[in-house]
Amino acid sequence: MSRTIQVLPDLVANQIAAGEVVESPASVVKELVENALDARATRVKVQVRSGGKRFISVTDNGSGMCREDSLLCMDRHATSKIKLADDLRSISTFGFRGEALSSIVAISRVKLWTKINTEDTGNLIKAAGGVITGFEDIARQRGTTVEVANLFYNAPARKKFLKASSAETRAISEVIHMYALANPLVAFSLRSDNRMLLDISPARDISSRIASLWGAPVAEELISVTSASGGVQMQGLIQRPEYVKKGFRRAHLFVNGRPFRSSQLKSAVDRGYRTTIAESVKGWFFIYLNLPPELIDPNVHPTKAEVRFDGSCKVDELIENGIRSALSSVESAASFHQVEASIVPEHTTPINTQESQEEETQTALFVSAKSHWTELEADESPVSNTSDKEPSNSTVVDQTIPELLQVLNTYILAETQEGLIIIDQHSAHERILFEKILEDMESESESGQRLLFPLTIRLSRSEYTETLALSGVFKSLGFEIEGFGGDTVIVHSVPTPHPYFDSERCFREMLQELMEGSDLTRSAKNQHEKIAMVFSCKSAIKAGQELAKEEMQELFDQLFATALPYHDVHGRPTIIRLGKGELKSKFGR
C-alpha cells in the first residue's frame, strides 16, 4: 500500500501560513506599518487602489535595510527583532516572528526599495509567489517603500472572499487610525485611488491626535484618567458621562505602544463607569498601559491582536479603579464649555531628530484640566451624611461657605472661584441617598423610624407575595413590614430621608420597580446596588420642592461628601459648571 502522507512544497506551506497573517488588504497594511514603526519612522505614507486588492504602497523614512538584510527579509522566519527563544519573554517591538513579508510575498507581487545611511546606494528587490525575481542597486533616500500588487493572485479561493473596495478601504483606514493613536509623534497619510483620506502631522499629545482624526469637539468630550500599581501604569482618556450615547463606540487599548483587544478589559472600563451612565450606553475610551515587557506576552494570536498579562498585574482592577477615580473629579462634571484634556503616552515611536530625542527624555505625564475649585484634604470616611464633615472627594466649591440660591424650586446655584455651578436638587439627593444606603447595608445598620400609627396598605395578590419575599430588602432600607392577611400589609417603621418624604408612595414605586426591573437596575453591580438605586430614585427630593436655606446647605455639603458627586445613578449630571470665560464670552467682555 502506498503512503498517503507527504511533505508540502515550500510554496504551498507558505501560502497556508500566509492565511494566518494576511487575511485582507488591511492585514498587509498593518504588517507593513508595524515594520515602518519598528524602523523608528517619523513619517508613514500609505497608498491603496481598489481597497488594496490591486495595489498597496507603504513608504517610511525609517532606518532602512542594508543589502544583505534586504535579501533576507523575505525569507520565512527571518527577523532582526529576536535571536533566541528567551527573547520572546521580553518583546518590545511590533514584529518578532519574521512571517509578515514572507507571507505577503507568497500571495502577491512585491517590490521593495530600501536604503540605510551607511551605504551609498539603495536596493530594489522584486518578488512574486514566494520567489525573488529581481535585484538591483538604486538611488534613493534613507527609508523603505514596499509595494504589494495583485493580492491573492495565486490564491483564488482566498481572493473571492475579499469584500467590496469601499469596505476594504474603511478597514485600512481603521488600521491607520489605530496606529496613529498609538504613535502621536508620527505623521501619517492615507491616499485611496486619487483621494487623500488622511494627512496628519505629528501631534503633541493624544488629545491633539484625536482632534486631527475626528475633530476638536470629540477631543473636548474626553477627560484624563491615570492610575498606577505594582509596576503597571495606566493613563488615557475617557468620555465624559454627559456625552455618552447609544450607537458606535470607539474603544482602544494599547500596551507599551502596541494596540490590542480584550473583552475583559472592556468590561473593566464599563464597571468603572457604573452608576454614572445608563446601562444601555457605553463610553468611549483610549487606554494606554505601560509595564515591563517581561510581564506581557504578545505571542498568543496569529495577528498579534491579543496579549496575555502576568497574573500579578491585575490590569482590570487598575483600569476600573482609575476610571472610577477620574469620574469623581471635577473634570468629569458637565459644563457649558469644556477644557481639553491632554496626554502623551510613554510608549510612542521615537523620532530620529535631535529635537524629538530631547522630547523623549521628558517624563510623559497628563496635563489635566486646571481645577476650578479649591482642593482640600480628603476626609478618611468615604461617605458622609452630616454637614459637619469635610468632603471626601477633595473638591470643594470654596473655602468659605458659598451663598446658595434656589431657582424654579428645582436647581441650586452657587458661586465658585471660576464662575457658577448649577445643582439639580433631585439628582444630587439621589447620589447622596445611594451611597448612604450602600454604607448602611455594609454596616448592617437600620435607619427606620418607628411609626406611632402604622400604615395599612392594600396590595394585589402578586404584590403581596412579592412584598413578603422582599421583606428583608425593605427592612434594610428602614421599612419594617408585616403581613396582615389577605392582600394587606402593615408597615411599622419607615425611612426618613427628608422632611417631605412620602413613605407609602415610595414603597409602592419601589415594589413595582423591583418586580418589573428596568435599565436602571440592570446597571447595578450587585443586589445591594440595585436596591440602593431604586430607593434613592424613588425617595429623593423631587423637582419643584421648595427648600429652606439650611436644607440647601445640608444637601450641598452632603453631595460633596460622596465618592461620585457629579453624576446621579441614572447617568445624568448632578452639576453643570458655568465658567467665567463662558460668561465673559456671552456678554462680549
Joined grid coordinates for residue 387: 454637614
Is the C-alpha dihedral spanning 235, 237, 238, 242 positive or negative? positive
Nearest-5° Cα angle at 575, 574 to 578 = 160
pLDDT digits (tens, 9 = 90+) for 118-164: 898 999 999 998 888 999 999 999 999 999 999 998 888 888 889 99
55, containing H or E segment: strand 55-60
Of 2-6, 16-20, 203-207, 476-480, least confident by mean pLDDT is: 16-20
* CA nearest neighbour of 486 among 519, 458, 523, 505: 458
| CB atoms near residue 8 (< 10 Å) | 10
What is the C-alpha to C-alpha distance for residues 506 and 553, in angstroms, rounded to an integer? 24
Task: Return the higher-pLDDT residue of 126 and 451.
Answer: 126
For 8, 10, 20, the CA distances from 17, given in Å and listed in that order, are: 12, 10, 6
Task: Return the higher-pLDDT residue of 538 and 358.
Answer: 538
Of 161-165, 388-392, 504-508, 574-578, least confident by mean pLDDT is: 388-392
Q: What does the CA dihedral 116, 121, 122, 126 come to, rounded to 10 degrees?
A: -150
Of 67-76, 87-96, 465-474, least confident by mean pLDDT is: 87-96
Cβ–Cβ < 8 Å for 97, 77: yes
What is the C-alpha to C-alpha distance for residues 210 and 440, in angstroms, rounded to an integer? 43
| CB atoms near residue 365 (< 10 Å) | 13
For residue 513, the model assigns a pLDDT of 76
pLDDT digits (tens, 9 = 90+) for 211-265: 999 999 999 999 999 999 888 999 999 999 989 998 889 999 999 888 999 999 9
Query: DSSP string covering 308-341, please?
Result: EE-TT--HHHHHHHHHHHHTTSGGGSEESS----
* CA nearest neighbour of 50 among 199, 213, 198, 191: 191
Query: DSSP string covering 48-68, please?
Result: EEGGGTSEEEEEE-S----HH
Residue type, 216: A
Max Cα-Cα span within the chain: 100
CATH of segment(s) 10-200: 3.30.565.10
Residue type, 81: K
575-579, strands of its sheet edge to edge: 334-335, 575-579, 419-424, 411-416, 404-407
Cβ–Cβ < 8 Å for 165, 193: no
Place of cell 447595608: 441
CATH of segment(s) 206-360: 3.30.230.10
Q: Answer yes or no: is pLDDT of 80 > 90.
A: no
Q: Report the phi/psi class of residue 476: left, alpha or beta, with left for phi > 0 and alpha for psi in -120 to 50.
A: alpha
Question: In the CATH hierarchy, which fold is given to the domain comprising 404-578?
Answer: Ribosomal Protein S8; Chain: A, domain 1 (3.30.1370)
Domain ranges of the chain: 10-200, 206-360, 404-578
* CA nearest neighbour of 142 among 352, 355, 455: 352
Which pTM does this prediction carry? 0.74
For residue 521, the model assigns a pLDDT of 47
Nearest-5° Cα angle at 241, 528 to 307 = 80
For residue 387, the model assigns a pLDDT of 39
